[in-house]
Amino acid sequence: MAYENIKLETQGPISTLTIDRPKALNALNSKTLQEIESALQSLGPDTRVLIVTGGGEKAFVAGADISEMSSISAAQAREFAALGHRVFLALESLPFPTIAAVNGFALGGGCELALACDLIYASEKAKMGLPEVSLGVIPGFGGTQRLARLVGKMRAKELIFSGSHVTAAQAKEYGMVLDVLPPEKLMEHCQGVAAKILKNGPLAISQAKRVIEFGADQDLRAANELERQGFAVLFGSEDQREGMKAFLEKRPASFMGK
């Protein structure tokens, strides 16, 4: 499918989604969000890792498109936020790992897009933040909730109340990103992480993601029960039998996702 504002490329089990509006610093307008949603829905069963990044050299995603938002009504704002929440929930809910390669400005909606991914790596040139209060509004695509769960309520409040932009190094210190790379090494690093993931059982990876995501919002007993069930169900899979047989035979496993 042809897209206007994004690119979706697939090489074997790795797909790369690029937000590609460089003249607008990849800002998220309604059309771009709809295209992202369509792209996520189009990912086939062979995709096992998705890398999300920004086109051009300056921005991952500089934010939601203020030129679109500046004149909308409260009712229209509610619909715009609902669209963003729906798209980012779809991204967060994919049954395989997602990696944000933050190659530049990741502000507002761009920071929220990164926060909806499982793993975040940043270029040394990246800057991140949720500066919506400087526009008289608050984050509207899940940023208040995902950031607080990632870095804690007090740090999230500081970042959101101040509207500050933080460097990649600060973002790593705060726990917003895992590692900071030279710009020319960022995608190579993300692809290397994807390659490590691909060596493991896809059903196990999917279960691990599900258990971590759903367990994080439950008390410890309920979360451990979720883990117990996920652990047990995998023993009905061909991948579990292959993985353990390969270990005993001292050879690499050949997983089929069954």
- Residues noted as catalytic: 112, 132
Helices (H), ranges, the chain? 30-42, 66-69, 74-92, 109-115, 143-151, 153-162, 168-174, 186-198, 202-215, 220-233, 238-248
Residue 128 CA, distance from chain mean position = 14
Residue 253 CA, distance from chain mean position = 28
Q: Whose CA is closest to 124, among 178, 190, 168? A: 168
How many CA atoms within 13 Å lie on the side-chain side of 185?
6
H or E element, residue 122: strand 119-123
CA–CA distances in Å: residue 51 to residues 4, 13, 97: 19, 11, 9
Which phi and psi angles does 209 have, rounded to 5°?
A: -60, -45
